[in-house]
Chain A
Amino acid sequence: MTEPATPYRARKNTPPESRDALRARIPGWGVDLDPKDRPSFPREQPGIETGAHWEFPDRQPETQPRELSIEHAMLTPVFGTSAPLKGASGAIRRYAYRTYSEGRAAHWLLLIAADRVDAWENHLKSLATLRPDNPVTETGIGIGSEFSGNGFKSRAGKRVDVNHSWMDPAIVAGLWVLAGVGAVAALRALRGRR
Chain B
Amino acid sequence: MRAMVYRGPYKIRVEEKDIPKIEHPNDAIIRVTTGAICGSDLHLYHGMMPDTRVGTTFGHEFAGVVHQVGSSVQNLIPGDRVMVPFNVYCGSCWFCARGLYSNCHNVNPNATAVGGIYGYSHTCGGYDGGQAEFVRVPFADVGPSRIPDWMDEEDAVLLTDALPTGYFGAQLGDIVEGDTVVVFGAGPVGLFAAKSAWLMGAGRVIVVDHLDYRLEKARTFAHAETFNFAEYDDIVVHLKKQTDYLGADVVIDAVGAEADGNFLQHVTASKLKLQGGSPVALNWAIDSVRKGGTVSVVGAYGPIFSAVKFGDAVNKGLTLRMNQCPVKRQWPRLFEHIRNGYLKPNELVTHRIPLEHIAEGYHMFSAKLDNIIKPLIISATA
Q: How many residues of A contact B (CB 8 A)?
A: 103
Interface footprint category on B: 35 or more
Bound: A142/B47 CA distance, A: 21
Bound: A89/B52 CA distance, A: 11
User: Given A48-B99, A150-B371, does the pair A58, B26 have CB atoms closer than 8 Å?
Assistant: yes
Q: Which residues 14-67 in B have Cβ within 8 Å of A in the complex? A: 23-26, 47, 50-57
A17 within 8 A of B: yes
Does the CB pair B360–A111 fall under 8 Å?
no
Does the CB pair A80–B122 fall under 8 Å?
yes
Does the CB pair A6–B97 fall under 8 Å?
no
User: Given A72-B109, A79-B126, does the pair A122, B55 have CB atoms closer than 8 Å?
Assistant: yes
User: Given A30-B199, A76-B107, A119-B54, does the pair A158, B212 have CB atoms closer than 8 Å?
Assistant: yes
Does the CB pair A5–B244 fall under 8 Å?
yes
CB distance from B83 to the nearest CB of A (A): 14
User: Given A27-B341, A29-B201, does the pair A81, B8 have CB atoms closer than 8 Å?
Assistant: no
Does the CB pair B126–A6 fall under 8 Å?
no
User: Given A33-B201, A76-B108, does the pair A51, B51 have CB atoms closer than 8 Å?
Assistant: no
CB distance from A3 to the nearest CB of B (A): 10
A98 within 8 A of B: no
Does the CB pair A140–B127 fall under 8 Å?
no
Does the CB pair B337–A28 fall under 8 Å?
yes
B52 contacts which chain A residues (CB < 8 A)? 115
B342 within 8 A of A: yes
Q: Mask for A109-120, Cβ within 8 A of B = 1, else 0? A: 101101110111
CB distance from B143 to the nearest CB of A (A): 8
Bound: A135/B343 CA distance, A: 41
CB distance from A8 to the nearest CB of B (A): 8
B361 contacts which chain A residues (CB < 8 A)? 140, 145
B236 contacts which chain A residues (CB < 8 A)? none
User: Given A76-B108, A83-B122, does the pair A172, B362 have CB atoms closer than 8 Å?
Assistant: no
Residue of B260, B341, B343, B367 most packed against chain A (CB within 10 A): B367
A192 within 8 A of B: no
Does the CB pair A29–B199 fall under 8 Å?
yes
Bound: A159/B231 CA distance, A: 11
Does the CB pair B126–A75 fall under 8 Å?
no
B98 contacts which chain A residues (CB < 8 A)? 44-46, 48
Does the CB pair A67–B110 fall under 8 Å?
yes
User: Given A26-B223, A28-B337, A60-B24, does the pair A79, B364 have CB atoms closer than 8 Å?
Assistant: no
Q: Which residues 301-348 in B have Cβ within 8 Å of A in the complex? A: 302-305, 326, 329-334, 337, 340-343
Among candidates A135, A142, A150, residue contacting B370 with C-beta atoms closer than 8 Å: A150
CB closest residue in chain A, given B107: A78
Does the CB pair B245–A6 fall under 8 Å?
yes
Bound: A119/B273 CA distance, A: 15
Does the CB pair A145–B360 fall under 8 Å?
yes
B364 contacts which chain A residues (CB < 8 A)? 140, 145, 151
Bound: A55/B72 CA distance, A: 14
A1 within 8 A of B: no
CB distance from A116 to the nearest CB of B (A): 8
Among candidates B24, B112, B267, B304, residue contacting A78 with C-beta atoms closer than 8 Å: B24
Cβ-closest 8 pairs across A and B: A140-B363, A28-B342, A119-B8, A52-B91, A80-B126, A50-B91, A80-B127, A6-B244
14 A-B pairs with C-beta separation under 8 A: A6-B245, A31-B340, A31-B342, A57-B139, A58-B25, A69-B111, A78-B107, A83-B56, A112-B304, A133-B7, A138-B7, A150-B371, A160-B260, A175-B271
B contact residues vs A (CB 8 Å cutoff): 7-13, 23-26, 47, 50-57, 72, 74-75, 88, 90-92, 96-101, 105-113, 116, 122-123, 125-128, 138-139, 141-142, 167-168, 171, 174, 177-178, 196, 198-201, 203-204, 210-212, 223, 228, 230, 244-246, 260, 267, 271-273, 276, 302-305, 326, 329-334, 337, 340-343, 357, 359-364, 367-371
Inter-chain pairs besides A68-B109, A111-B50, A112-B50, 5 sampled, C-beta below 8 Å = A6-B244, A50-B142, A78-B90, A102-B303, A150-B370
